[in-house]
Structure 1
Amino acid sequence: MSKTRCAIAALTIIFLSFSAASAQQLVPPPGRPTVPAAPKAAAPSPRASSCHNGASFDRFLADVKQQAVTAGVSQRTIAEASPYLVYDQGIVNRDRGQRVFGQLFTEFAGRMAAPYRMQNGQQHIKKYAAAFARAEKEYGVPPAVIAAFWGLESDFGANMGNLPTLKSLVSLAYDCRRSEMFVGETIAALKIIDRGDLHPDEMIGSWAGELGQTQFLPVHYVNYAVDYDGDGRRDLLRSPADVIGSTANYIANGLKWRRGEPWLEEVKVPQNLPWDKTDLTVREPRSTWAQLGVTYPDGRPLPNDNLAASVLLPMGRFGPAFMAYANFAAYTEWNNSLIYSTTAGYLASRIAGAAPMRKPAQPVPQLPFHELKELQQLLVRAGFNVGKVDGVLGQQSRAAVKAMQIKHGLPADSWPTAELLARMRGGTAQAQPAGTVR
């Protein structure tokens, strides 16, 4: 849900492990859910204490509890939560073994922004019309934007995860990779209990510690959850009104949504477009894009105004094209995977009534996994930071590809091609790094 969240669940192009596409359906029974039975937790690995001055998990946990008390958490809550604050090496192993997905955008969006999810979003907007109208009035976030995240994150509450949140958080806190961050999330989870929003045994979610129907990390839950149904609790597990209001609050105030402005629209681009301008870092008035020949898919001209936007080509010049406005930054902030963020923005546009995106006129050439990985290795050798060499086209790899396309006089649409790979295999002189792009 943010760049911090993406360090947990996305890295560069990772779709959420408990998304509607990959998680088994979990429909909570009425009343308070109970912690599912689980195998006995494995002991911490020997290296787990290396970043805690050799402290055992029990000693580390005592320190976390003291930090929570200092932050205002009551002793009563500490005692109530303690049975759930146990270490599970399996959670850490899961975190370290996250799978990455290098799918084409059209494949991913076709599955995740399928017509049934669009229709479910529209039905939920009608069903909870009062809450959506209130959220739009108070926060300026359109119902379709909220509904798209709701559908992608949990299929409207059907897939929220089935693991004890406190166990996940404290296990990841003891691990050395993001210890400070997860200590903060653990304390935030205790604050949720302390203010009466949830009980410890209700806190069931993803392995990464996210909670609720739009998968809030505890810090976001504490900062942005609102009581929209007036029952005195902020319940993002079972209250649709609370989910709607809280998600709107986070998008508006956490992600800085701009009231009344668009987010993502499909466009048609001419074959003579200056491809080096098709980048989220390049923003031009719509009037400028219109002069360059960019139109709506049906040929209608863009408005001749000064509203700034970027042309986004998630699959290069032969794939779909979108006009990404300032509000699209909320999507990349929610999840910095370009495939996920573009899919979320596209789904929101479909829920709002936009037509399905056009299919490419011909198959978009895609390098196979081993060649994409080889290209990344060549880019690293040329002095670029592409992040992890994993055969997945993340933002850093796209920026490096664009720089090398410019160097070799190729269309600079940031999409890796066999021609670029052949040029780089030819042993050309090293390029100057374009810097670290995140």
Structure 2
Amino acid sequence: MRNFSTTHFLPGAVLLAILSGPQQASSQPAPAPVRPAPARPAVAPQPRPAAVPRPAAVPGEQPAARPVATAPRGGAACHNGMSFDRFLSELKQKAVAEGVSQRAMAEAAPYLVYDQSIVNRDRGQRVFGQVFTEFSRNRASDGAAKNAQARIRMHQAAFNLAEKEYGVPPAVIAAFWGLESSFGAELGKLHTLPSLVSLAYDCRRSEMFQKETIAALKIVDRGDLTASEMIGSWAGELGQTQFLPTHYFNYAVDYDGDGHRNLLSSAPDVIGSTANYIANGLKWRRGEPWLQEVRAPQNLASSFPWDQADLTIKLPRSKWAQLGVTFADGKPLPNDDLPASMLLPMGRTGPAFLAYANFAAYTEWNNSLIYSTTAGYLAARIAGAAPMRQPSAPVAQLPLNELKELQQLLVRAGFNVGKIDGIMGQLSRTAVKTMQIKYGLPADSWPTAELLARMRGPRAEPAAAVMPQAR
């Protein structure tokens, strides 16, 4: 659910880097201590399998078997040339120092091997070019909402208990569950430990994956999963809502009463654990909304303060109402002080939403704006919201080569946009808005041909002096 991608749609957790790119990377909040589980009524116990059989190979993925690729000769530069064997020995010592038993270490040993193909995948992620309306049409359709509603009915007791205990609505849990793994239908087919330890040895995110490897060993030691059962995405995420091992260890709960926290095959455990993570890891606010579709006054394009449409700017709903914003069906917004941001995932001519404090849980879960907005919208649809209004005309999108060119021009003008890759993450969107203000264009953060044409003119001067301010 965090920082990884492939070109597949599922598991949903691997969508992040495709949709957001390196420039949007964000740190995760430190996991809250897991409080002792209160006594709960039993919720649909499910038998724990002895082991998950290794699946056969599928096109595009290696079989779930012990990797045979060897570590680079000469060792990794970030480890002062240390060989993989030496690195692994030191990592094992760290794990033991953190309380992992020798029994768990011995069980995991056959899987603590280097796999260069995992590192190659991590470095060779390809760009995913769908815009929000296309992605949401596929992933948040009427059928997806109805399927999620059926799952809620199927596991009503677990959903009700999770909402009572953690304050997270069933629709929110079900939306993530469906997006991440199609309710467990697509979990990935690779052993987790080789992926984790290979990425730990690689220099790109070594410290992060050392922690994830140790967390996975702690999961084995606790008895939730065996080392052989740990099969998931190539990036090392586990379970039907694709938890990183640190989140699995800290937030997984035993909701079916069988003594194990099994997020691979126990639906109650998936529901309770996902609710626990959203509530305590992502700081969900009980009883508050997350995302609502609205309508901005298009006929006032010359005067409406589009620069205020930014997740970093929060205004009371009464203020948005004064500016002419209504619900999507034309009904007035409540005249209250509940703070909300205007979210325009495709600029002023595309869909518009009010994003509330709880929307931060979505951007923390996956910091891709396309994914997080789709997840919030899908949850709203599951909860009974009407289908999103489609734009009256197709929203113009610059092709990839022109998006890269625009980023290059923004860098020339003094902005930091991260990697020049054509992915318009938050840094690029902020720079676009600043330049729109400079040129007197509607400042909705959406890259347009008009802005590109203006910036192709005389060399753009640094625009730090016109950074937008909240009103």
- TM-score with structure 1 setting the length: 0.93
Contact 1:153 / 1:215 at 8 angstroms: preserved in 2?
yes
- Structure 2: distance between partners of 1:155 and 1:269: 34
- Provide the rounded CA distance (Å) in 1 between the counterparts of 2:458 and 2:178: 47
Distance of 1:305 and 1:129 partners within structure 2: 33
Judge conservation of contact 2:438–2:463 (CA < 8 Å) in 1. Answer: no
Structure 2 residue 168 is the aligned partner of structure 1 residue 141: yes
Please list the CA deviations of residues 267-322 of structure 1 after superposition, one character each: whole Å capped at 9, or x if unmatched.
00002221000000110000000010000111100000000001100000000000
Contact 1:296–1:302 (CA<8 Å) still a contact in 2?
A: yes
What's the counterpart of residue 233 of structure 2? 206
**Paired residue for 2:202, among 175, 196, 203?**
175
Aligned match of 1:55: 82
Shift of 1:116: 1.9
CA distance in 1, matches of 2:462, 2:310: 20
SS in 2 for 1:266: strand
Among 117, 121, 136, the residue aligned to 1:90: 117
Alignment partner, residue 412 of structure 2: 381
Question: Which residue of 1 is the match for residue 12 of structure 2?
Answer: 19
Amino acid at match of 1:317: R
Distance 1:47 1:319 in 2: 52
User: Are 2:456 and 1:419 aligned?
Assistant: no
Report the Cα distance in structure 1 between the residues aligned to 2:122 and 2:157, rounded to whole angstroms. 39
Query: Could you tell me whether the CA contact under 8 Å between 1:102 and 1:393 is conserved in 2?
Result: no
Q: Which residue of 1 aligns with 2:214?
A: 187
The 2-side partners of 1:269 and 1:72 are apart by 55
Q: Does 1:354 align with 2:385?
A: yes
Q: Distance in 1 between matches of 2:313 and 2:154?
A: 40
**CA separation in 2, counterparts of 1:296 and 1:242?**
36
C-alpha distance in structure 2 between counterparts of 1:225 and 1:323, whole Å:
31
Against the structure 1 CA distance between its residues 377 and 48, is the aligned structure 2 distance closer, same or farther, given a 3 Å change threshold?
A: farther
Q: In the alignment, residue 293 of structure 2 is paired with which amino acid?
A: E
Amino acid at match of 1:278: A
User: Which of 365, 375, 380 is residue 344 of structure 1 equivalent to?
Assistant: 375
Instruction: Quote how far apart the aligned CAs of 1:431 are.
Output: 2.1
CA displacement 1:97-141 (0-9 Å, x = unmatched):
112212111001101112221111100100111110110011000
Distance 2:258 2:67 in 1: 37
* 2:26 aligned residue: none
Is the 1:9–1:17 Cα contact (8 Å) retained in structure 2?
Answer: no
**SS class of match (1:384):** coil
Residue 348 of structure 2 corresponds to which residue in structure 1? 317
Q: Per the alignment, in what secondary structure is the counterpart of residue 228 of structure 2? A: helix
1:176 maps to amino acid: C
Segment of structure 1 superposing worse, 279-288 or 423-432: 423-432
- Report the residue type matching 2:113 in the other structure: V
Find the aligned partners of 1:41 and 1:258 in 2 and give their Cα distance. 47
User: Residues 39 and 240 (structure 1 numbering): CA distance in 2 closer, same or farther, change over 3 Å?
Assistant: closer
How big is the shift at 1:56?
A: 1.1
**Can you list the C-alpha shifts for 1:131-157, whole angstroms capped at 9, x where unaligned?**
101100110000000000000000000
CA distance in 2, matches of 1:109, 1:148: 12
2:24 alignment counterpart: none
> Partners of 2:74 and 2:180 in 1: how far apart?
33
Partner of 1:398 in structure 2?
429
CA RMSD in angstroms, aligned pairs only: 1.9
Change (3 A) 1:191 1:238: same
Aligned to 2:316: 285
Question: Is contact 2:5-2:14 (8 Å) kept?
Answer: no
CA deviation profile, 1:369-396 (whole Å, cap 9, x unmatched): 1111100000011011111111121111
How many matched pairs? 422
Q: Secondary structure at the match of 1:201?
A: coil
Q: Deviations over 1:32-51 (max 9, x none)?
A: 21234448522122465211
Gaps of at least 5 residues in structure 1 are 23-28
Q: What amino acid does structure 1 have at the position aligned with 2:12?
A: S
Checking the alignment, whether the CA contact within 8 Å between 1:15 and 1:100 is kept in structure 2 is: no
The DSSP-based 3-state class of the residue aligned with 2:149 is helix
- Change in Cα spacing, 1:357 to 1:368, as seen in structure 2 (3 Å) is same
Decide whether the 8 Å contact of 1:20 with 1:159 is kept in 2: no
Matched, 1:118 2:145: yes
Q: Secondary structure at the match of 2:110?
A: helix
Question: Structure 1 residue 203: deviation in Å?
Answer: 0.1
Q: What CA distance in whole angstroms lies between the structure 2 residues aligned with 1:424 and 1:81?
A: 56
Rounded to whole Å, the distance in 1 between the matches of 2:342 and 2:142 is: 25
Match status 1:32 vs 2:51: yes
Question: CA deviation digits over 1:54-91, x for unaligned, max 9?
Answer: 11111111111110100000001101100011110000
1:268–1:299 contact (8 Å) kept in structure 2: yes
Distance 1:48 1:130 in 2: 52
Q: Residue deviations 1:391-433, cap 9 Å, x none? A: 1211111111000000111000000111100100002441234
In the other structure, the counterpart of 1:26 is none
Matched, 1:79 2:110: no
Query: Deviation per CA, 1:174-220, whole angstroms, max 9, x where unpaired?
Result: 10111111010000000000010000000000011000000000000
2:282 matched residue in structure 1: 255
Preserved CA contact (<8 Å) 2:196 2:212: yes
Between the aligned partners of 1:16 and 1:366, the Cα distance in structure 2 is 22
Question: Judging changes above 3 Å, is the alpha-carbon distance between structure 1 residues 422 and 55 closer, same or farther for their aligned structure 2 residues?
Answer: same
Q: Distance in 1 between matches of 2:233 and 2:357?
A: 30
Q: Which residue of 2 aligns with 1:25?
A: none
CA contact (8 A) 2:309 2:341 kept: yes
Letter of the 2:11 partner, please give it.
F
Q: Which shifted more, 382-391 or 30-39? A: 30-39
Aligned 8 A contact 1:226 1:245 in 2: yes
Q: Say whether the 8 Å CA contact 1:15–1:101 is kept in structure 2.
A: no
Q: 2:409 and 2:122 mapped to 1: Cα distance?
A: 29
